Structure 1
Amino acid sequence: MELLVIRHGQSEADLLEVHEGRADFPLTELGERQAGKMAATVAKEYPPEIILSSTLKRASGTAQILQEAIGCEIRFYDDLREFNNGVLAGMSRKEAAIKHPLPEGGRPVHIPIQDGESALDLRYRAERILRQILHDYQGYQRIAIVSHGKMISNLINAFLRLPVGDVAFPTGDTGIHLLEQREGMRVVRFMNRQDHLS
């Protein structure tokens, strides 16, 4: 089974310079164009049999653009949503730095942000949805997953069975990762591919 893991395109929060997380901003016009370019590349080179997507607008909008290019079914999962950043959702980065500064040395992985989830909670959610996908879709050859930066990093960490909080995998707008589950082996084919944007 191949997992084609894709980040959404640029959202309005990027232009407003606010913390996004669970704040539900749609794609910008640029984000829609990015998604269109990604979709054309995926349709030509790595067409999935099904698309699984976060329910947040920036991801679901990206997934729907991909669906139009592929013509396959799309299913939405709350568990693919971005990190629940609680009080920071929708807050400007300047205001957040004053009202909710990071503790010295960073926030411990087990301590949630106010009204949100901890890094450990996010990793558990990624583990849970990854295991659900690998179980429920085991008859599929290739699945596309459209999600968000921190969730994607945690999905990759879970896929590679890495420790919590030690390794990050950044993903740019509409960046694509291709992971493969083989018998007894998990393979990374490529990471954060964005050449479709050039």
Structure 2
Amino acid sequence: MRLYFIRHGESEANRLQVISNRGDRYSLTAKGQQQARTLAENLKPFPLSTIFTSPLRRAIETAEILSDELGEPYQITDALREYDCGILEGKSDQESWRLHREIAQDWVVQQNWQRKLDGGESFLEIKNRFVPFIERLTEAEFRSDNHILLVGHGGIFQLMLPLLLTNIDRHFVTEHGICHTDCIITEPQPDGFRCLQWGEIRLV
């Protein structure tokens, strides 16, 4: 079994620098569509079996392209949705982005896990929908040869993957980030998941 964590392609929200973590307002740009097609071509040599995706439009459109190109169906799960920023939804001004960064820093540096914006999610609430999904998937598939794609978002992956991966920490994530359609390849070990590849960086 292997899990492939994939960030969606570039979206109109990314291009406009709008905080958009709900609904289906913003689709992929032409560049984002091409990124997804290129990723699909790169994934064709792998024995992929299933695709799961966030319910946000940019992720679903990425999953649709991967599904069409790879011939595998996709399923939508809320576990992979980008974290809700509450009152910052739809905003693009500098102060909103500053507060967005402040909240994330408060989580990962100060470990203030329960802080959240009005109408948004706390770190613990994000963890409580993401981690159990991965645990259930691992329990069901651990001894299988299935390679599973998980299409999601940069924010949630940067927060959650250091909790899962034994050879990746927050410093590594901060230093390298996650670009659009980066693929993070992992496999389960007795003590947790090991990251084999982070985007273009091979770790084994």
Give yes or no for TM over 0.5.
yes
Deviation digits for residues 81-103 of structure 1, max 9, x if unmatched?
00111111211133625998947
TM alignment of 1:27-46, pairs within 5 A: 27-44=28-45, 46=46
Unpaired runs of at least 5, structure 1: none
* 1:154-184: CA deviation from partner (whole Å, max 9, x where unpaired): 342232269xx95573210000000011455
Q: How does 1:142-153 map to 2 (within 5 A)?
A: 142-153=147-158
What is the letter of the counterpart of residue 157 of structure 1? P
Instruction: Report the Cα distance in structure 2 between the residues aligned to 1:63 and 1:114, rounded to whole angstroms.
Output: 31
Cα separation, 2, equivalents of 1:189 and 1:156? 13
Are residue 117 (structure 1) and residue 121 (structure 2) matched?
A: yes
Distance 2:192 2:61 in 1: 33
Letter aligned with residue 48 of structure 1: L
Instruction: Please give the alpha-carbon distance, in whole angstroms, between the structure 2 residues aligned to 1:168 and 1:121.
Output: 24
> What is the SS of the residue equivalent to 2:155?
helix
Identity fraction in percent? 27
Pairs within 5 Å for 1:67-106: 67-94=67-94, 96=96, 102=102, 106=106
SS in 2 for 1:125: helix
Alignment of 1:192 with 2:196, yes or no, is: no
Q: Distance in 1 between matches of 2:2 and 2:102?
A: 37
- In the other structure, the counterpart of 1:15 is 15
What is the alpha-carbon root mean square deviation over aligned residues? Answer: 2.7
Letter in 1 for 2:89: A
Change (3 A) 1:156 1:99: closer
**What amino acid is the match of 1:156?**
L
Structure 2 unpaired stretches of 5+? none
2:186 pairs with one of 170, 179, 184: 179
State the alpha-carbon separation in 1 of the partners of residues 19 and 147 from structure 2: 32
User: Structure 2 vs 1, CA of residues 53 and 134 (structure 1 numbering), >3 Å: closer, same or farther?
Assistant: same
Distance 1:21 1:193, change over 3 A: farther
Q: TM-score, normalised by structure 1?
A: 0.83
| 1:35-58 superposed Cα distances (whole Å, 9 cap, x missing partner) | 1101110113x2411111111110
TM-score of the pair, normalised by structure 2: 0.81
Aligned length: 190
Q: 1:93 to 1:42 in 2, by over 3 A?
A: farther
SS of 1:55's partner is coil
Range moving further from structure 2, 165-174 or 139-148: 165-174
Letter in 2 for 1:174: T
Structure 2 residue 53 is the aligned partner of structure 1 residue 53: yes
